[in-house]
Amino acid sequence: MEVAVSSILVTGANGFIGRSVCRTLAANNHDVTALVRRAGTSAGAQCEWSHGGADFAGLGEAWPRELIPDCVVHLAARVHVMNDTAADPLAAFRATNVEGTLRVAHAARERGARRMVFVSSVKAAAEFDGGAPLSESMPAAPDDAYGISKLQAEEALWQYGERSGLEIVIVRPPLVYGPEVGANFLQMMNALWRRLPLPLGAVDARRSLVYVGNLADALMHCATDPRAANGCFYVRDDQDLSVAGLLRVLGRHLDRPARLLAVPPSLLRAAGALTGRGAQLDRLTKSLRVDDSHIRETLRWSAPYTLDDGLAATAHWYRSTHGI
């Protein structure tokens, strides 16, 4: 039931996810325009538009006359960081993730866009799953400024869509990984490569992940399938692993068997509380799973890559770029 989409604008196109989205769209014969802050930093798009306005200020006035997108995939955001130094983190997140997102929606609609796919986050719903995978019908209860801003952006977009007729599609990915990944996932591979002992052997809490190639494919379907209109979707790989299980699989693909110590999760959390790393240890020792049945049933979508495929590709990238 997909329809041909002649033009898709991707914001944040020079980021880890954005580059994969542009390549996937172009490979499937969509015309892709990359919106970036600095020229020459995108990959895979046929056209690039550079706009340096903070939080998309002045976007409508600067919009190229010839750019008439059918859909905008909005990835650009102020992302979650540990130990945020902003004086008012929530205000900083709102400026980009709420006000900036609405500027993109308004400017796109004014130039003829019919749909906007907003890449939100599982953190807009919760930090942990409370014993059952999160579904779209569950009440959202974000726990930090980043998650609150993402939920507020979702709510603002729903309201704008009702007023303007712009179709809104929300996608809430869990942790995204793949070649070129950074942050905690890269640190985890660094530890495996260096054969460091890791005190996570007794952690059996499971967490959903999504390979960047699977997320890009899901976003393409959300941009092009009529059935996605005004829907909210979780997306994930084909299985959820415990942190210990993830380390074992990654270690196998890196040819660096994980050295896991079976430290009770309660002791890990206590150590985290004493060292000021409680939030980080909670994320390692508590489960966060999502239910992706809605996107699979509504769009008949299935992930083109297995979790093992994704981890193998990520490990291959790491060995070729970091494994010295």
- Closest CA relative to residue 159, chosen from 202, 210, 102, 211: 102
Residue 115 lies in a domain: yes
Question: What's the rounded mean pLDDT across residues 65-90?
Answer: 84
Is residue 255 within 8 A of residue 193, CB to CB? The reply is: no
pLDDT of residue 1: 47
Radius of gyration of the chain (CA): 20
Residue 263 lies in a domain: no
Q: Where in the sequence is the domain holding 19, given as residue range(s)?
A: 8-178+209-238+289-305
Is residue 152 within 8 A of residue 125, CB to CB? The reply is: no
CATH classification at residue 148: 3.40.50.720
Residue 112 lies in a domain: yes
pLDDT of residue 81: 64
Residue 51 lies in a domain: yes
Compute the distance between CA of residue 257 and CA of residue 70 in angstroms, rounded to an integer: 47
Between the alpha carbon of residue 251 and those of residues 18, 133, 175, 258, the distances in Å are 27, 27, 19, 5
Of the residues 146, 160, 211, 305, only one is catalytic, namely 146
Residue 324 lies in a domain: no
Report pLDDT digits (tens) over 3-19.
455 799 999 999 999 99
At 284, give phi and psi (nearest 5°). -85, -25
Structure-model confidence comparison of residues 237 and 278, the more confident one: 237
Residue 261 lies in a domain: no
Structure-model confidence comparison of residues 118 and 52, the more confident one: 118
Does residue 71 register a pLDDT over 80? Answer: yes
Give pTM, 2 decimals.
Answer: 0.94
- Closest CA relative to residue 210, chosen from 272, 321, 288: 288
Question: What's the rounded mean pLDDT across residues 69-87?
Answer: 83
Compute the distance between CA of residue 311 and CA of residue 217 in angstroms, rounded to an integer: 17
pLDDT band at 270 (very low <50, low <70, confident <90, very high): confident
Is residue 224 within 8 A of residue 7, CB to CB? The reply is: no
How many domains are contained in the chain?
1
Report pLDDT digits (tens) over 98-116.
999 999 999 999 999 999 9
Question: What's the rounded mean pLDDT across residues 277-288?
Answer: 81
Does residue 277 register a pLDDT over 80? Answer: no
pLDDT of residue 82: 56
Is residue 80 within 8 A of residue 146, CB to CB? The reply is: yes
Residue 255 lies in a domain: no
Report pLDDT digits (tens) over 218-252.
999 999 999 999 999 999 999 999 999 999 999 99
Give the rounded percent of residues in the chain with a pLDDT score beyond 70. Answer: 94
Question: What's the rounded mean pLDDT across residues 169-174?
Answer: 98
177 is catalytic: no
Compute the distance between CA of residue 25 and CA of residue 45 in angstroms, rounded to an integer: 8
Residue 225 lies in a domain: yes
Where do we find the tokens 């997108």?
Answer: 69
Contacts of 44 (CB under 8 A, 6+ apart): 19, 22, 23, 24, 25, 26, 32, 34
CB-neighbour burial class of residue 139 (10 A; exposed 0-12, middle 13-18, buried 19+)? exposed
Question: What's the rounded mean pLDDT across residues 176-184?
Answer: 94
Does residue 320 register a pLDDT over 90? Answer: yes
pLDDT of residue 121: 97
pLDDT of residue 4: 53
Question: What's the rounded mean pLDDT across residues 211-220?
Answer: 98
